[in-house]
Each structure stands twice: as structure tokens, then as C-alpha cells.
Structure 1
């Protein structure tokens, strides 16, 4: 497994297609949450995409919004169902945090049942739980 990292402007059509396909398969189909995943932020100049690849297949992905600011946000953390438990998301999070190393704070909105998993990376709850689609979420920050 290796991790690819691209700014929005450097993504190929095939790469963004593979990232969006995996997000759709998990967030919309598997988790049964109908929402506009294609939200206009994937192709902004300060968005960075990371994805884990093995044998040409995307295993997982994350994106960083406002990547070069003092307050970036990591989001759309997703792992293909067949690859869960292999450390794919952990490797992507570690690389994402590394990219944001100069940030004052890093923000993310975690699915509530994954709060303790994100705590492994230094994130702490920073607000009240809320519903996003059918899934409870919690805001978290890492300083």
C-alpha cells in the first residue's frame, strides 16, 4: 500500500473519479445517507486529497480543506469495506496531520462512534453532538 497526495489542481479525472466513487459507495450507499457529497470543495485551490492505493485499487481516502491555513479541516475519511482493520485510515490520518503540521489547530467532524478512534491522533471533542444525515457527529479539534 502507498499513499498518493495531490492538490486539487493536480488531480487527474481518473483520480478524482476513484476518490468520489469510494466516498459514494460508503457514505451514500452503505451508510444510507443521501447528501451532496460533491460539495464544490474538492477542486478548490487549497484542498489536498490523499488516498491509499494497492494494486491500482483505492483502499481509502481523506481530504484536507484550507490545507495551508492556520486552521485546516480533515474530512471525508473513508475506507473501503474490504480493507477495514488494515490501518488504511490510520496511515491516511497520520499523513494528513503531517501535511497540516504548521497549523494552529486542525478541525474535523467525526462520526460519533469514532470519537475515541480520532482521539488516538490528538483530536478532542470541541462541541455538542449533532445529526448529519442519519448519523450522529461530533466536532473535534487538534491543537
Structure 2
């Protein structure tokens, strides 16, 4: 029986196998599947405040995101990727819930942001994100900027 485990670490604390799995997952999703026009590896993983978060099943990374601390104190969730054959089963939501919890810990009183692919806007909204921009292009893909209000600021559902 397989089990899902959510893990998080800084890049420099990871073993080579995990680094490879995360890079391959991102390559499969962003480069091969979505044909993103910008380089996925942008150097931000090397920053001291960056946290990589992923879901493992039987030792294999099947979903991933990264959390960045921006110069203005906000925290940004990005590079959200779920293995293609594992989508639509709640894995992405589990990943995001763990990512949101970790991002809130890091942000303290600061905000949490995401530049969401536009087709996923309602999905992110269902987790409390609010759209704060018009559609814009990033890496050849339509995106919208979204913010996550502090829990006490969110309307009850």
C-alpha cells in the first residue's frame, strides 16, 4: 500500500536523487507539456529563504511547489506542478494546503501571492486567493496575480 508524504526543505539540504526528481517533474510539466517559453531554473532556488515543498509517494516526487520570500516581505508560491497522471484526485489541493500553511508561517504579517495560470484562477480562489490583476503573459502562458488574505480577513464560505 502506498502512502503520500509531504516534505519541505531548502535546495542545499536535498540529496541528489530528490533534486533530480523535482527538476524532472518541473521539466515534464512546464517545458514538455506546457511549452513554457522562459527557463524554469531561474536561480531563485539558491536563495536562502526559498523553500521547496513536494509530495512523495513511495519515495517518488509526484507534486511540487516552491515558496519565495520577496524583497518587500511578501511570500510568493510558484512552480506548482503535479505529475500529469496524478491530477484531478485532490493531490494538487493537498500540496497547496501544505504550501499555504508553510507560506503563512514564513510570511508572518506579510502577504502571500501567486501568479496563477489563468485557467486555474477559480481553483486558487477556492483556497482563498483573490485576483488582483488583469490577465498577463508569463513564459508564453496566460496568468493572473492573486493574493491570499490573512485568515481573519477572508470572508466565510
Instruction: Tell me the TM-score range normalised by the shorter chain.
Output: over 0.9
List 4+ stretches of structure 1 deviating above 2 A: 100-104
Structure with the higher helix share, 1 or 2: 2
Q: CA deviation at 1:103?
A: 4.1
| Residue range with higher mean Cα deviation, 112-121 or 85-94 | 85-94
Q: Which residue of 1 aligns with 2:122?
A: 116
Tell which structure's C-alpha radius of gyration is larger.
Answer: 2
CA distance in 1, matches of 2:55, 2:22: 10
Aligned residues: 142
Cα root mean square deviation, aligned: 1.6
2:97 pairs with 91, 94, 97, which one?
94
TM-score by length of 2: 0.84
| Cα deviation code 1:104-135 (max 9, x no counterpart) | 21011000000000011111111121112332
User: Which ranges in structure 1 are unaligned for 5 or more consecutive residues?
Assistant: none
Show the counterpart of 1:16. Answer: 19
Gaps of 5+ in 2: 150-157
Preserved contact between residue 77 and residue 103 of structure 2 (Cα < 8 Å) = no
Which of 64, 71, 89 matches 1:61? 64
| 1:44 corresponds to | 47
